[in-house]
Structure 1
Amino acid sequence: MNKLEQLKQRSQVVADTGDIEAIRRYRPQDATTNPSLLFKAAQLPQYNDHIAEALVWAEDRQNGSNPEDIARLAAIKLAVNIGTEILQLVPGVVSTEVDARLSFDTRATIDYARHLIALYERAGIAKERVLIKIASTWEGIAAASVLEREGIHCNLTLLFNQAQAIACAEAGVTLISPFVGRILDWHIANSDREAFSAQEDPGVISVRNIYEYYKSRDYKTIVMGASFRNTGEIEALAGCDRLTISPQLLQALEDSEAPLAAGLPPVSASLSRPAQDLAEAEFRFQLNSDAMATEKLADGIRNFVKDQERLELLLQDRVKGQQNIHAATNPQAV
């Protein structure tokens, strides 16, 4: 077996892409998307029909003809359209992200998540097949706690340290996505090291510690390693509940016939290891005390916002183009 086949025997493999063809090619269990991936996908010709349908839908529901308002609504529908198509190809779930501009607004995050689920259900997709992706801020975790009690399952993303992981588990979220590669990036940028072996990789160590903490205390929250920079990181975390992997690294794993590395050792629950219940003040203090986690969380939110806005600008251009065509062919309607 190649390394990808070996990995699938030890962890559930998730495709970290919105590219339908890549998902069809690698046959993952689940798929996860984000604003950056959707922006890239929206520029591919095979998504033109999804974009056109989303724009028509948004225009029908948007009072007036403001391209900005239409584009913002169409972006939500486009995410659901692509998620719906992905679910025709994977047996499991798809993750769809809440607008990162709402990362510090609990109520707005809840409302946005409910809207996404309602759109999926209208498309014939049961809510059990969707994970709502939310940034692991205190406000995002609070929103996820409410949503989980409603039966809306959540994927807490942009997770970089133990405090975030503990708060998520205590909130009862379905899944967390601790970021491996971005932790590595920070340590390379802020030290005299140019490289780390897989076993000493700080991102790998962070996920290993979170995994051990969860399993030793019998938390049900799923750990899904994310944001990998190389296959060595992936192999070091083989055995983790789930791993979400880019198409490029999936291909690299598939191309190798070598034995897969040992990965994570098994962990058994122990009553001698009590859980830690973090209050808001302690959560914020621990997060603030971790320069890497604080900087990468803020940076991740900013980048997702930037790509969300770029996606909406792309959709605005489509709206304006259609409006100009309509004005030219129907001058009396202007």
Structure 2
Amino acid sequence: MGSAGTPTWLDKLEEQLNVDVDWMDPEYIKGMPIVPHDQTSNQLWVDIQLGDDSNRELLLETAKELKNDGWLAIYTRMAVLMCKKNINSIRGRVLLQTLPSNAFRFQETLDHARLYDKEFARAGIGRDRYCIKIPSTGPALNAAKVLSSEGIPTLGTALFSLPQAIACSQAGMLYISPYYNGKLKIWDTKTPVFEVLAHDEPELWPNVKDPAVEHPIFITVQEAMAAGEMGCHSATISHTVLNELAKLRYVASEQPGPDVPKPAHVYKDAPPVSDRLRKLLSIDPLAGPDWDGKLASTDVDYLADGGASLQNAIEADAVTKKRLADAMALFTGGQERSRAKIEEVLPLV
């Protein structure tokens, strides 16, 4: 924490919203200057922890116990047990994601989420302390609807559009985690650069002073602070950005937006959108030239017929379609690296 009278950007952001840690390292989370609310993850973060020396013996033990059940059983139990190491260092929930390679498969997504639920129960972690991330596709969100009916909490991830958000609501999900308000950057090669790729390739990320009105996705500290001004419930922030936020002393006069504390409940008596951000309500910087200005309607059943209307909306939106594909490819890479690690130890047990 900052010394008396000199809060850090991280202190101030926690006053404005719930700060979640997007990282799985137990020692890092224990050492954070604030107690995070949720601990989120994805296949990349699970893979990093799976390969960490501190989890080597646990991996060998788990592989020995489940070697006849296949790599996914080992992966799922390991992911849950690694989250268990953090459960007493956070206020809220640990989050894990179903396999991105099955993002367009209903039954496989449903089965994997149920396996997570089983493993969390085995680990002594109740449904009020975890949440399962589900890709926001038609088939996967239909699986989420079933999970919701069973009392299994879910979050809609890989979410880039309003139809996806509406579909998540129709599936009864606890959370959504959107990527929003971004702009394409066109370089001299005339090749579009999509924001998902910037996580791996920082040089693709345009640096601006006021990301609240340009491209909020948390790669820089300014983008994280913008979420507070927007009135978000929470912000999922990587350890690298958290480190930077904790180093910076907060000076209100240097911030482009107002300092508004979070309400007791984010959805009750929420303050109005600030004047400088109000214009964002009436524009869509990513809409194609054929957009008629109409927003997606909650009257559409995006989950009907296996999610056909949602899939049609995704296909019709070039940006959403591309970013969804990029995200699933990125996370599937992490999934496959974890599978290789597990298959490598199986002959040893």
Shorter-normalised TM-score: what interval?
Answer: 0.7 to 0.9
Q: Matched residue of 1:127: which SS?
A: coil
The aligned runs of 1:16-95 (5 Å cut-off) are 16-26=22-32, 27-59=35-67, 62=68, 69=70, 71-95=71-95
Deviations 1:55-95 (A, max 9, x none): 12212xx16xxxxx3x3321111111111112121121011
Per the TM alignment, residue 102 of structure 1 is displaced from its structure 2 partner at its CA by 1.7
Determine if contact 2:75/2:342 at 8 Å carries over to the other structure. yes
Residue 21 (structure 2) aligned to one of 15, 22, 34: 15
The answer to whether 1:304 aligns with 2:339 is: no
Q: Matched residue of 1:304: which SS?
A: helix
Size of the aligned set, in residue pairs, is: 286
2:281 aligned partner: none
Choose 94-103 or 47-56, whichever is displaced more: 47-56
Residue 2 (structure 1) aligned to one of 1, 5, 8: 8
Aligned-partner residue type, residue 236 of structure 2? T
- Partner Cα separation in structure 1 for residue 206 and residue 337 of structure 2: 32
The answer to whether 1:105 aligns with 2:110 is: no
The answer to whether 1:200 aligns with 2:190 is: no
2:283 aligned partner: none
1:247 aligned partner: 239
Runs of 5+ consecutive residues of structure 1 not aligned to the other structure = 64-68, 205-226, 324-334
Q: What is the alpha-carbon root mean square deviation over aligned residues?
A: 2.6
Per the TM alignment, residue 193 of structure 1 is displaced from its structure 2 partner at its CA by 9.7
Runs of 5+ consecutive residues of structure 2 not aligned to the other structure = 1-6, 194-203, 261-269, 274-294, 303-307
Determine if contact 2:100/2:328 at 8 Å carries over to the other structure. yes
Cα 1:274/1:109, change in 2 over 3 Å: closer
1:221 aligned partner: none
Aligned-partner residue type, residue 101 of structure 1? S
Residue 310 (structure 2) aligned to one of 283, 297, 317: 283
Determine if contact 1:180/1:228 at 8 Å carries over to the other structure. no
Residue 231 (structure 1) aligned to one of 221, 225, 235: 221
Determine if contact 2:137/2:311 at 8 Å carries over to the other structure. no
Per the TM alignment, residue 248 of structure 1 is displaced from its structure 2 partner at its CA by 0.9
Determine if contact 2:8/2:247 at 8 Å carries over to the other structure. yes
Determine if contact 1:165/1:176 at 8 Å carries over to the other structure. yes
Q: Matched residue of 2:133: which SS?
A: strand
Deviations 1:212-267 (A, max 9, x none): xxxxxxxxxxxxxxx51111111111131010101111111111112364378834
Cα 1:315/1:102, change in 2 over 3 Å: same
1:214 aligned partner: none
2:3 aligned partner: none
- Partner Cα separation in structure 2 for residue 57 and residue 186 of structure 1: 49
Task: Report the TM-score, using the length of structure 2 for normalisation.
Answer: 0.75
- Partner Cα separation in structure 1 for residue 183 and residue 73 of structure 2: 36
Aligned-partner residue type, residue 198 of structure 1? P
Cα 1:52/1:140, change in 2 over 3 Å: same
Cα 1:187/1:311, change in 2 over 3 Å: farther
Aligned-partner residue type, residue 279 of structure 1? D
- Partner Cα separation in structure 2 for residue 169 and residue 73 of structure 1: 30
The answer to whether 1:256 aligns with 2:248 is: yes
Determine if contact 2:137/2:310 at 8 Å carries over to the other structure. no
1:315 aligned partner: 342
Determine if contact 1:167/1:277 at 8 Å carries over to the other structure. no
Per the TM alignment, residue 298 of structure 1 is displaced from its structure 2 partner at its CA by 1.1
Cα 1:200/1:258, change in 2 over 3 Å: same
Deviations 1:143-162 (A, max 9, x none): 11111121111011111111
Determine if contact 2:18/2:37 at 8 Å carries over to the other structure. yes
1:215 aligned partner: none
Determine if contact 1:179/1:228 at 8 Å carries over to the other structure. no
- The sequence identity of aligned pairs, in percent, is 26
Deviations 1:85-136 (A, max 9, x none): 1212112101111111221121221121111111111111112211011111
